[in-house]
Structure 1
């Protein structure tokens, strides 16, 4: 692809050969791929950077000199994608670069630049955002699908175009999915399935519970069985003294709650209601929250009995 792109850009035959470089610091060779390039009378070295590397023009400028001194060739860095700010910084420092399909700055050979640059979206990969977890659960529980159309997923989950874009980008950066464009469709393809997908993603998942309130309420429309109450239905765990329900924060139901302080009113039968960061109804089944969200809602519980029964419940769940 790189060979053909350079040939088409300058109308000159291009020959690339992958090579290895020795005698350089580890950070200048680790994770990078090197190509010897010949185009007409010009010979140069292409340094293909890993997409996990941090961008720094000052470091690239220093490395450029070291590569040129080592090989005696002109050198160009190759990026999967760059932003307008990054492109302009490279040009200002006179650092040759290639970023396909239409950002090529090779002063020793030729220049082809386009204003068709997308702003690169940067999202945290420490923990999932609530919208990302919604999208993840959507992909997880529909594991029979080979791919998912982004627009359809957004419609099904009630997410805006921006929210679905940020959510899918976060899953991509966590290496949980990849995206493929087919015509006008953008397809999301999970890199794992079922239990394996859950296990790989487990450290990224968040506790969906934002707040807990105690109120004198019985089960009603819009509330879903959750927490220890749900777990007790699927294990040997005894039912808790308070029924536990979940509802999305901001629900109209929440505004009707009369919150009770159980420390002072222990003579009233109350329910524990978890206010969630996303709608538990999206993945509920038979009035109960989904297993993965249940597991994450109990993840901060230090009770070994709960931890053990939860583990058994997940092992028996048919992924």
Structure 2
């Protein structure tokens, strides 16, 4: 097994143009638990010297908050900036550490050194979605259907339109959207046009994720005596069924926005001022959750998108578990 130090040097060499030299750094003034947790090395990177705290092989990954506390203890003991070198770090945790301004390197994934204004992210060869431009619900549906339900490559657009419930005219617009992001290209099959994705599986998911949106348009506390199909379990309720996450006191369900509004107007349920008067939370979705979900629960990727901005770190950890469970 290649050591973290070896992986670090192999990772930094093409980034810096030369193989950096590491020199052991004394850390006798640090608490014992930090000296046992990390191996300290001095290095020159991007014109600046750093003390690197390399996570030992047998160490368990910590939360961003714990890493922040540890680096606050380390930094006063050194004149150079301290950066963590970690074995692994889930994407949600990397994003959180960037927001907290914690310098770190995950060999093969990301280098974040704010003192040197360095933020190098991996996947340089993957196509980049158009910055700031989110996919429409129809385009998002197509991608999620392809990832979770059935591959849509080499199918005529009219067949894809039928599968995901949109008109052929709409699919022509969707085709242009997806081509603009770089995740797919078109191919002619006789007189029909088909899509070819430039990457597949988890790579496709990671590439397209920045331009995907939460399907939740709005939520409402409601009193609904017998929630039933086509309402599907969603939110923290669905996450608790798929992972070790604890459920909310009140369950969450999801409906297509048109069904949500029609049921409300027909008195199938009524809105409440708050959770104290309700018996569930109801989400109105921009696309039909039945497209990818089973008969009881919304699909994993839409569930992830609906909760990815949830502020609780425990939720973020379970969302990472949710994605790891998918048989890509």
Q: One fold, TM greater than 0.5?
A: yes
Do 1:175 and 1:191's aligned partners in 2 also have CA atoms closer than 8 Å? yes
Please state if 1:297 is matched with 2:312: no
Matches within 5 A, 1:229-240: 229-240=237-248
Match of 1:253 among 260, 263, 277: 263
**Residue in 2 that maps onto 1:153:** 160
In the alignment, the residues of structure 1 paired with residue 176 and residue 254 of structure 2 have an alpha-carbon distance, to the nearest angstrom, of 28
In the alignment, the residues of structure 1 paired with residue 132 and residue 169 of structure 2 have an alpha-carbon distance, to the nearest angstrom, of 18
Please state if 1:172 is matched with 2:179: yes
Matches within 5 A, 1:20-59: none
**Residue in 2 that maps onto 1:94:** none
Matches within 5 A, 1:165-314: 165-217=172-224, 218-251=226-259, 252-255=262-265, 256=267, 257-262=269-274, 266=276, 268-314=277-323
Higher helix share: 2
In the alignment, the residues of structure 2 paired with residue 141 and residue 297 of structure 1 have an alpha-carbon distance, to the nearest angstrom, of 16
Do 1:127 and 1:205's aligned partners in 2 also have CA atoms closer than 8 Å? yes
**Residue in 2 that maps onto 1:131:** 138
In the alignment, the residues of structure 2 paired with residue 132 and residue 211 of structure 1 have an alpha-carbon distance, to the nearest angstrom, of 20
TM-score (norm 2): 0.56
In the alignment, the residues of structure 2 paired with residue 231 and residue 242 of structure 1 have an alpha-carbon distance, to the nearest angstrom, of 13
SS of the counterpart of 1:302?
A: coil
The number of residues matched between the two structures is 194
In the alignment, the residues of structure 1 paired with residue 135 and residue 191 of structure 2 have an alpha-carbon distance, to the nearest angstrom, of 27
Do 2:272 and 2:278's aligned partners in 1 also have CA atoms closer than 8 Å? no
The structure with more radius of gyration: 1
Please state if 1:317 is matched with 2:326: yes
**Residue in 2 that maps onto 1:24:** none
In the alignment, the residues of structure 2 paired with residue 221 and residue 270 of structure 1 have an alpha-carbon distance, to the nearest angstrom, of 17
